[in-house]
């Protein structure tokens, strides 16, 4: 778990993720609008339970993000989730100290670097689009197909294919967002990520959240039983003087 990640020296660096977003400490900045291409079209996903999250790899469809203060065009490689054992915990990023039950990370790499692996070694190589989920009374219908797909990858190393109707349909608006420079939240904790976190949350019901908690992790308890895949989030890291920028009016200094 997170405690023995110091085997990777970068995990102890000063540009680590996730962080707490303190709305009183953010800096107002007009970074401009983010633009998305192909986000509204269907995308073929190779879905894997990798033992510590469920990951949706996208290779057949080219979807990109640019603008919003990003220098270059960033292409979607995969998206995955972080969640908790109950509705009060689960997200990696927190807002004013508050955790959310679920967080989505859409991982992009800078096209000019050619591949995810090559981009991950560059300080501006990756751009992760993140969003936090809030519990709603009613189900979020945009997630029905995705949650059904989780049943097919209940166990570690299981894979399936899923065509998402549109990535945009499961994401919030990015008219308002937070931006900071950080890292991957799992080893090797590469300090190569430009983070963009929507100021708007995504609704999901408690019932829908259970679909994530039914997944099985690759970790084994003292009796040799595989543990439920829950609480797969890294604790918030020290800012070390980094600035968090936002274009959300009326916040910060």
d(CA 124, CA 238): 20
Is residue 52 part of the annotated active site? The answer reads yes
Residue 43 · residue 58 · CB < 8 Å: yes
Short-list 214, 188, 200, CA closest to 54: 214
Structure tokens given for 165? 């109707």
Burial class from Cβ neighbours inside 10 Å (0-12, 13-18, 19+) for residue 225 reads exposed
d(CA 179, CA 196): 5
Short-list 160, 154, 149, CA closest to 226: 154
Sign of CA dihedral 126, 131, 132, 133: negative
Given the residues 52, 80, 82, 108, the one annotated as active site:
52
Burial class from Cβ neighbours inside 10 Å (0-12, 13-18, 19+) for residue 240 reads exposed
Structure tokens given for 150? 């989780």
d(CA 111, CA 119): 8
Short-list 211, 191, 171, CA closest to 122: 191
Cα diameter, the chain: 54
Active-site residues, by number, are 52
């Amino acid at each position: 778990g997170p405690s023995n990640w110091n085997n990777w020296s970068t995990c102890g660096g000063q540009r680590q993720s996730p962080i707490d977003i303190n709305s009183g400490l953010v800096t107002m900045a007009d970074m401009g609008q983010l633009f998305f291409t192909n986000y509204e079209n269907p995308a073929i996903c190779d879905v894997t339970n990798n033992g510590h999250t469920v990951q949706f790899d996208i290779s057949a469809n080219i979807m990109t993000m640019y603008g919003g203060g990003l220098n270059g065009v960033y292409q979607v490689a995969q998206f995955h989730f972080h969640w908790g054992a109950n509705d009060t915990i689960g997200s990696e990023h927190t807002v004013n100290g508050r955790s959310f039950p679920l967080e989505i990370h859409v991982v992009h790499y800078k096209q000019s670097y050619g591949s995810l692996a090559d981009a991950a070694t560059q300080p501006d190589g990756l751009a992760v689009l993140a969003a936090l989920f809030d519990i709603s009374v009613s189900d979020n219908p945009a997630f029905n197909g995705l949650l059904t797909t989780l049943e097919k990858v209940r166990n570690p190393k299981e894979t399936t294919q899923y065509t998402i109707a549109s990535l945009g349909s499961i994401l919030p608006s990015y008219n308002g967002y937070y931006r900071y420079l950080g890292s991957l939240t799992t080893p090797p904790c590469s300090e190569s990520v430009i983070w963009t976190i929507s100021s708007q949350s995504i609704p999901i019901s408690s019932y829908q959240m259970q679909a994530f908690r039914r997944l099985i992790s690759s970790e084994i308890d003292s009796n040799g039983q595989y543990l439920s895949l829950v609480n797969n989030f890294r604790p918030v890291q020290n800012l070390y003087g980094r600035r968090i920028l936002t274009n959300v009016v009326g916040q910060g200094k």
